Amino acid sequence: MEQNADIRQFIEVIKRRKFQFIIPSLLVFLIAVLISLVLPPVYKSTGTILIEAQEIPQDLVRTTVTGYVEERLQAITQVVLSRARLIEIINRFGLYQDLKGRYSIEEIVEKMREDVKMEPIMTEVDKPGSGKSNSAIIAFTLSYEGKDPKQVAQVANLFVSLYLEENLRNREEKTRTTYEFLEEQLAKLRTEIVAIEGKTAEFKKKHVNHLPELMQLNFQTMGQLQRQIEAKEEQIKGLIDRKIYLEGQLATLDPTMYAFSIGGKRVMTPREELETLRSQYLSLSATLSPQHPDVINLKKRLEAVQAEVSGREDLRQVYRKLHDKEHQLTMISEKFSDKHPDVIKLKKEIALLKDEVSALSEKQTVFKGEDEKPENPSYINLQTQITSTQMDIETTRKERNLLKVKYEEYQKRVENTPQVEQEYLVLQRDYSNAQAKYQETMNRLLGAREATGLEKSRKAERFTLIDPPIVPERPDRPNRLAILLIGMVLATGCGIGFGSLSEYMDQSVYRADELAAISGFPVLAVIPYLETEEDRKKMMQKKWAWIVSAAGLVIICAAAAHFLYRPLDILWIQIVQRFSIRF
């Protein structure tokens, strides 16, 4: 019962505040209708560009255009939407004529940048081998908004063309720049390699015998020379021994054993003469007295010859000692210097022997057999062999000295090889590094050349227009139906709010229970309002005014829907189809 009373009160409030509800609602709705009619239509033409991946696998041919697609799209957008290019497009199509004079050129350019929209289309792409997926751009839309549909389509197509052309130009320029850079680097590396090769050749020419690769050969040659020197030393020792032996043999022979006088008679040797004189002295001593002059004369001659023979024997022995000492000095001088004590001692002994030889030679006054030309064939043969042996010794010594000089030369080569090797290794390392860089750059250049061919043949990543911009048939905004619906919602809310506020602010008493509550006395009776004929006429006029207003509002809404949203016949057919599908 109490709930029915509340409903009746609510209905009474609506009847009482119907104008406060209706008038604000109508005003707000009319404002929404005016807004939907006043706002100019904005048309939007959109093209879709697909980002196609490289046709040839990356493992076979790699492109030189690197970086993320987002970065390249942003770079292309900055180039396409540059100030100079936008001003050119504005002047070419006569855009924003209504803004010229009221706004600066910078503001108009900024307005056009806002009207051009590039929106990427993302998708989830699986990473091969990782099992994870990342977001990637597979396409993007490019749209332009304006008031003239044909002009919007033309400008949108132009922007699509600019994006496609700029992408091609950008990729070709990057590929060409990479190729030219690598060519320049390759030329520099080629010059560097030629310079290093020249330095290496000059270094080899300067240190031809000290190169590291000749170290083993130098060692082998040193070994061979050492063995040859040792062989020569042994040969010299053998020749010296032979000479000593021959000199010993020579000392036992008499050089004049077979000498002959001018008359053809054989000249006796001192020993033979000594033996003859001894025989004669014995014979004379046997027949004559010791004081006989012939005996005395023969005795003196015998003593002189005997002294001569013994002196010669001493001289030969001294000669043999002298030769021995000289041989020892020769052998020891090869091992020690002149200041060595043994060398000094031998030199003193040789000097003493030479003085002794000189003294003994001066005593040979009776018979100078040694000063005469030897005629003994054996003596001459031994002398010849001794001379030949001495010549062989000198020749062998010269050969040994030459071998020692060569050995010292190769020894210096071996000693200098580490230092030369260090410098040579620096050159080799520089050459190897330059060669490696050259080969690496050459491989990159070949890759860049393949990438250039890839771009020219349009086999690399490219932008493909799959949905070109067309002339829009309907405006993209404003959405007049949405504005009307929002206006209806706002109008209803404003009506209810204004009516509720009016009822809340009104202090009048409209019910008996309210009056009883205020006065504190019970209400005995309620006298209803008595309508007159004039009141009924006014009520009828108000009804017709409301009917006409409602009809006009319906007509305005229908006209707005017909002209601004969709024709009524098409809208009716769609509504019927939807209801037929549902039921």
| Chain segment 340-397, per-residue pLDDT in tens | 787 787 778 777 777 766 666 555 544 444 444 566 677 778 778 888 888 888 888 8
Give the mean pLDDT of 207-235: 82
Write phi, then psi, for 223 (nearest 5 degrees): -65, -45
Look at residue 567 and tell me whether its pLDDT is greater than 70.
yes
Please name the residue ranges forming H helices in 364-376: none
Q: How confident is the model at residue 157 (pLDDT cuts 50, 70, 90)?
A: very high
Tokens 């000498």 belong to which residue?
259
Average pLDDT, integer, range 271-290: 67
Cα–Cα distance measured from residue 227 to residue 233, given in angstroms and rounded to the nearest whole number? 10
> Whose CA is closest to 173, among 76, 93, 268, 289?
76
Burial environment of residue 346 by CB neighbours within 10 A (0 to 12, 13 to 18, 19 or more): buried
Q: Any idea what DSSP says for residue 41?
A: P
Q: Mean pLDDT throughout 556-562?
A: 72
Half-sphere exposure for 312 (CA within 13 Å, toward CB): 21
Q: How large a percentage of the chain has pLDDT more than 90? A: 4
The confidence score (pLDDT) of residue 257 equals: 54
pLDDT one-digit tens code per residue, 486-496: 888 888 888 78
Angle at 487 between CA 483 and CA 18, to 5 degrees: 165
Confidence of residue 158 (pLDDT cuts 50, 70, 90): very high
**pLDDT at position 511 over 80:** no
Place of tokens 């390759």: 186
Question: Which structure tokens are listed for 16?
Answer: 């009482």
Query: Residue 478, preceding bond cis, omega within 30 degrees?
Result: yes
The least confident of 35-49, 201-215, 416-430, 562-576 is 562-576
In sequence order, what DSSP letters do the residues of 73-141 get, joined into one string?
HHHHHHHHT-HHHHHHHHHHHT--TTTBTTB-HHHHHHHHHHHEEEEEEEEEEEPTTT--EEEEEEEEE
Q: What is the pTM of this model?
A: 0.52
Secondary structure letter of residue 561 according to DSSP: I
What's the N-to-C CA distance of the chain in angstroms?
40
Dist. CA 163–CA 142, nearest whole Å:
9
List phi, psi (to 5°) of 508: -70, 155
In this structure, the strands spanning 266-267 and 259-260 are antiparallel
Residues 289 and 298 sit within 8 Å (Cβ to Cβ): no
Q: pLDDT tier at 143 (50, 70, 90 boundaries)?
A: very high
Q: Give the three-state DSSP class for 506.
A: coil
Least confident interval from 19-33, 118-132, 458-472: 118-132
Mean pLDDT of 217-230: 86
How many angstroms separate the CA atoms of 311 and 299, rounded?
A: 18
Residue 580: band (very low, low, confident or very high) from pLDDT cuts 50, 70, 90: low
Which segment of 98-107, 123-132, 238-247, 276-285 scores lowest on mean pLDDT?
Answer: 123-132
Q: Which pLDDT tens digit goes with each residue over 406-426?
A: 888 888 878 877 787 788 788
Domain residue spans in the chain? 224-401, 538-583
The answer to which of 116-120, 236-240, 330-334 has the lowest mean pLDDT is: 330-334
103-141 confidence digits (pLDDT tens): 889 999 999 999 999 888 887 766 555 556 677 788 889
Work out the mean pLDDT of the chain and round it to a whole number. 76
